[in-house]
Structure 1
Amino acid sequence: MKVVTIIGARPQFIKSGAVSRSFIEYNQTNPKESISEVIVHTGQHYDSNMSDVFFEQMNIPKPAYQLDINGLGHGAMTGQMLEEIEKVLLIEKPDWVMVYGDTNSTLAGALAASKLHIKLAHIEAGLRSFNMRMPEEVNRILTDRVSSVLFCPTDSAISNLEKEGYNDLDIAIVKNGDVMMDASLMFSAFAKAPQEEIPSNFILTTVHRAENTDDPERLKNIFKALNTISQETPVVLPLHPRTKSFIEKYDIQLGSNLHCIDPVGYVEMLYLLKNCSLVLTDSGGLQKEAYFFKKYCLTLRDETEWVELIDNGFNKLVGADFETIMAAFKNAHSQSPDFSLDLYGNGEASKKIIEGLLKHK
């Protein structure tokens, strides 16, 4: 069986790292019915610190195809990816195309597979933020609809699909757990400090979502809060390239105790997660990783697809309102959620993906 895996953004490198390792382990014990994987890197994240470093650190097989498509608007980027991925699929003729999450790379891979009538597996299916202004929401909904198998990380994801009528469609739904947890368990022992000096007792922050970076009022409010918080507790911010450009565009001033560092690799991010006291982020993946490492999280968004984190008190939505962010920060030290609660499986999600591919081939 041949699988073409489409990846292009940081979280997808991490997720595919866990699944690729499971493919290798499966082939070692099942040589007569092995699974070959061909990795296609669209180039959506092209900064070497946000792309190449993941393959080096996590021992993910190097991509067989590098499409180098980046720096474009949504339409142009998705269209060019669709065109180039289609060429790859015509050459490779896989049994499956596998996509992750909700990026433009995800949608382009899904459209290419569906138009060529190749079975599509969507990892992290069924997630919904219920905000159609988010390009990620559009991507995940469209990808789910053209998939052959939907691998869902949570009960709420399955519930979303059921409400949308997926039980009446010829699409298999599998609850497999979260491959991000697999990756965290696999690679946590390799955590290492970034090259930059990191203060003690710090807050880890990431900001990159278009809904925040593209809106000057939201971004200014967020950084006003980060500057204020940093006067009390140091804030470490691995700075996404596009966020950096908007900070410069809007002439946002950064406080002296707001430590902006270059984007970090996955093992450095694991170090930051292990050693921080609190997480502030607009990243979907980092919300979960905070939970994996037993850290309370404030989410700089108005909604999240990871509703179980909110419902069980591990996470609080604070949007981009200065007063709301500050009030939640002041209350964060009093939060003591039960991190022994199992929300995302026991680290077997990747193995269940393999089982699902074999069952529905």
Structure 2
Amino acid sequence: MNVLLVAGARPNFMKIAPIYRASLACRSVRCSIVHTGQHYDREMSGTFFEELEIPQPRYSLNAGSGSHAAQTATVMVAFEEVCLKERPDLVLVVGDVNSTLACSIVAKKCGIEVAHVEAGLRSFDLAMPEEINRMVTDAISDHFFVTEESATGNLLKEGKPAARIHEVGHVMVDNLFHQVERLSRQDVARLDGFHLKEKAHPYLFLTLHRPSNVDCRETFGGIAQALNQLAQSRTIFFPVHPRTAKMMQEHGVHLAERVVLLPPLGYREALFLWKDAEAVLTDSGGLQEETTALGIPCVTIRENTERPITVEIGSNVLAGTSPQGILAGFQESLAKKERARVPPLWDGRASERIWKVLTEGEGGANIS
């Protein structure tokens, strides 16, 4: 089986890395990594791929940034050439970025089957570009690999055949457990965050980058108000996304001294900090799930989430974006910590189950 494994941006590589590593145990599978280059990222050096224990991408499409339409079109044109050259049996896409959508459409137009990892997740907010990418990708996929029961329910309501839906767990959790184990064997004193953690107990970890949160002066100002109030009693480590840094300057947003502004961090550096945090505050999707897997209280600074299971089992609190909501959400997250659970199949073996389904027709949970 000739498989093209697609990643569009650095976070996607955290998802495809365990899938690629698990493919090496399948003799019948030839798996090639395609990097669409949706986002230029100077951190993605040879060392980056070595840390993930995967090879450099076989194909780099260098799509670059641009509007959603321009970026999607550029990826489609470049990926079509790869498909015509490789003639793969399957294109495997992950997540919900523009490259996920673009490569799925191209594959189907070329008569190639598509497998979507993290299928069925829905925020039901069409103002989110990612929601549109998720819905369209699922509309044309052949194999649906889901992380939670709500995703299965969404797909069944949309008319997808139960036999094609497979609850396999979460590849992000596969990578998380792999990286935590590697950290346990590493000399962490060499990490930049080592001395930061020594000086701050307890501390919080924050990520903030969504346009809906940082582009609006009033919304960003309210979030900053809540952060500054939390910073009165604890340190907050905040790796600042370039977009967020730009909007902080434009809006004149001022954060308290105990909100420690950091440059964008590599995956392992960030993990080293947030895995021991009192709580994580974020508007990211992936961190909601990773904190759940490690039992770290999470406060999601959004009005909705496409990861409802993290809220249902108590590890994640959907706080909204108002100062009052964020502060109340933080207190609620600490109160729920002891009652939080880990979802079924989030055990670090999702990638193995995916290949078992694709090569043997079995391995995921029964959806019938």
From 25, 50, 60, the counterpart of 1:56: 50
CA distance in 1, matches of 2:39, 2:345: 27
Aligned AA (1:15): K
Pair 1:204 & 2:205 matched = yes
Post-superposition offset of 1:15: 0.9
CA distance in 2, matches of 1:155, 1:40: 29
Pair 1:83 & 2:69 matched = no
Partner of 1:187: 179
> What SS does the corresponding residue of 1:270 show, helix, strand or coil?
helix
> What SS does the corresponding residue of 2:339 show, helix, strand or coil?
coil
Post-superposition offset of 1:306: 1.2
TM-score where L is the length of structure 1: 0.92
Partner of 1:226: 227
- The gaps in structure 1 that reach 5 residues or longer are none
Partner of 1:65: 59
CA distance in 2, matches of 1:320, 1:10: 26
Matched ranges for 1:1-361 at <5 A: 1-24=1-24, 26-27=25-26, 30=27, 33=28, 35-49=29-43, 54-167=48-161, 172-191=164-183, 192=188, 194-195=191-192, 197-199=195-197, 200=200, 201-359=202-360
Per-residue deviation, residues 36-95 of structure 1 (Å, max 9, x unmatched)? 111111122322236765423211221112222233111111111111111111111111
Q: Do the aligned partners of residues 164 and 9 (structure 1) sit closer, same or farther apart at CA in structure 2, a change above 3 Å counting?
A: same
Asked if the contact 2:213–2:220 (Cα under 8 Å) also holds between the matched residues in 1, the reply is yes
Asked if the contact 1:8–1:44 (Cα under 8 Å) also holds between the matched residues in 2, the reply is yes
- The gaps in structure 2 that reach 5 residues or longer are 363-368
Post-superposition offset of 1:100: 0.4
Point out the more displaced range, 152-161 or 258-267. Answer: 258-267
Asked if the contact 2:313–2:340 (Cα under 8 Å) also holds between the matched residues in 1, the reply is no
Point out the more displaced range, 84-93 or 278-287. Answer: 84-93
> What SS does the corresponding residue of 1:335 show, helix, strand or coil?
helix
Structure 1's consecutive aligned runs of 4 or more residues displaced over 4 angstroms after TM superposition are: 50-53
Point out the more displaced range, 229-238 or 40-49. Answer: 40-49
Task: Quote the sequence identity (%).
Answer: 37
Point out the more displaced range, 236-245 or 324-333. Answer: 324-333
CA distance in 2, matches of 1:236, 1:53: 25
CA distance in 2, matches of 1:325, 1:50: 33
Q: Do the aligned partners of residues 16 and 341 (structure 1) sit closer, same or farther apart at CA in structure 2, a change above 3 Å counting?
A: closer
CA distance in 1, matches of 2:173, 2:165: 20
Q: Do the aligned partners of residues 52 and 43 (structure 1) sit closer, same or farther apart at CA in structure 2, a change above 3 Å counting?
A: farther
> What SS does the corresponding residue of 1:198 show, helix, strand or coil?
helix
CA distance in 1, matches of 2:332, 2:361: 48
CA distance in 1, matches of 2:102, 2:212: 21
> What SS does the corresponding residue of 2:111 show, helix, strand or coil?
coil
Post-superposition offset of 1:14: 0.6
> What SS does the corresponding residue of 2:122 show, helix, strand or coil?
coil
> What SS does the corresponding residue of 1:333 show, helix, strand or coil?
helix
Q: Do the aligned partners of residues 344 and 285 (structure 1) sit closer, same or farther apart at CA in structure 2, a change above 3 Å counting?
A: farther
> What SS does the corresponding residue of 1:144 show, helix, strand or coil?
helix
Asked if the contact 1:50–1:264 (Cα under 8 Å) also holds between the matched residues in 2, the reply is no
CA distance in 2, matches of 1:7, 1:161: 23
Aligned AA (1:221): G
Aligned AA (1:19): I
> What SS does the corresponding residue of 2:305 show, helix, strand or coil?
coil
Asked if the contact 2:315–2:333 (Cα under 8 Å) also holds between the matched residues in 1, the reply is no
CA distance in 2, matches of 1:57, 1:204: 23
CA distance in 1, matches of 2:348, 2:333: 28
